Structure 1
C-alpha cells in the first residue's frame, strides 16, 4: 500500500476520515508535516525526485526566485535549473527564510518576486516537450498565484507550453521538491530541472 499522498485526494480523505483513515492521516501529518501535495501533469520525466525542503513550522512561502540558464547559443541550454521559496511567518512580516530542493549547476538566480498580500498558493509550469535530436531544456518557467489571486510570473525561459493550473493550498505553500536530471557529461544533452511539486502543511487543505 502506498502512503504517498497526492493533492486533493489525500486532503479529502483526511478531512472526514475517522477510524483507520483518521489515524493514518494523523500519523502522516506528524511524520511528514503536511496533509497534501500540489502538482501539475506536464512536468518532464527525466531524472529523479530529490529531497524535500520545508519552511519553518507555521511559516509559508510568500516569494520565490529562479535559477535560470539564459541560453548559450549553439551550446547546450538547460533553462530552469532551480527554484527558491522565501518563507515568512505572516503575510506582512519582514523576516524571511529561503529554502530550496536540489538545483541544477547551470545559470544564475533571478530577482525575487513577492506576493503583495498573502502567500503563494498554486502554480503553473512551462515545459518544453522532448525535441528528439534537438536541444532539450524541459522546465523553462513557473507562474504562481497568491492568496489574493495576484499572478507572479517567473523570470525564466520561454520555450515550451504552459500546462494547467495546479490545485491550491488552503493557506499557502510551505515545502518544495524538485525532479532533477543529473549532468549527462560532455557532448550529451542536459535538461536540469524537469518537474516540481509543492507541499501544504499542518491542517491546511487543497482546494480547486
Structure 2
C-alpha cells in the first residue's frame, strides 16, 4: 500500500511539473500602451504553445447598439499561433479574459514570405476615455505590426475598422530582434447588469525569443 501511494505521489508531481512547463514561457519583453482603460481587473496571462508565436489575431466585437444602447465594442482578443516552420499554422488560438458581449470578427494573419516567417511584434490600441454620465466603451479596436524574422522588415496588420469610439494611443515598443509576441493578458470589466458596461479596457502582450531565452512568465 505504501509503495502504491508513493508511486501515485510521484506520478502526480510529474503531471503538475509538466503542466507548469507547458503553461510557462520565457518572456524577453512586455509590451504596453499608455492609453488603456481604467475599469475592471487584470485576468490570467495566456500563451501560445511552446515554440509557437502569434502569427495573427481575432477580435470579439459588440456591434454598435444605437444612440440609447449600452456599447462595449472590444470584448476580447485572440492570438493565432504558429511555429516558425509553419507546421502548426493556425491550429491553436489563445485568449486571456474576455467580456460576454459580441462575436468574433474573423482571423487576419501576417503575410508569410517564402523561406521565412513573420509574427506579431508591436500593437496599438484604440481607447475611449471616461465619458462621465454618458456611455463608456473603453477599448474599441487593436492593430499590430508584423516583423519578418530573417531580415527584420515590418508590415502593418489591421482588421477592417469597426464603429469608431475612441483614439489611437500610439504604438507600443517592438519585441526585441529575434523574438515575437507569444502571449497576452487583458484587463476586463465584468458584466455590470443594469450599469454601464465597458468589457475589455486594456491589454499587454508578451514577447518570447525564437530560441526560448528570457525570464519565465506564466502559470
Equivalent residues, number = 175
1:196 to 203, 216, 219: 203
1:33 to 19, 26, 32: 26
CA gap of 1:58–1:172, structure 2 versus 1, over 3 A, is same
Secondary structure of the residue aligned to 2:36 is coil
- 2:84 corresponds to which residue? 90
Between 135-144 and 91-100, the greater mean CA deviation after superposition? 91-100
Secondary structure of the residue aligned to 1:103 is coil
User: Which is greater in Rg?
Assistant: 2
CA RMSD of aligned residues (A): 1.9
> Where do 5+ consecutive residues of structure 1 fail to align?
1-30
1:63 and 2:70 correspond: no
- 1:95, CA displacement in angstroms? 2.8
1:152 and 2:145 correspond: no
- 1:174, CA displacement in angstroms? 0.1
> Where do 5+ consecutive residues of structure 2 fail to align?
1-23, 113-117, 148-152
CA gap of 1:122–1:204, structure 2 versus 1, over 3 A, is farther
1:122 and 2:122 correspond: yes
Distance 2:123 2:65 in 1: 28
Secondary structure of the residue aligned to 2:154 is coil
Secondary structure of the residue aligned to 2:134 is coil
- 2:168 corresponds to which residue? 162
Q: TM-score, normalised by structure 2?
A: 0.75
Q: TM-score, normalised by structure 1?
A: 0.79
Does the CA-based 8 Å contact 2:25-2:47 persist in structure 1? Answer: no
Does the CA-based 8 Å contact 1:80-1:157 persist in structure 2? Answer: no
CA gap of 1:114–1:153, structure 2 versus 1, over 3 A, is same
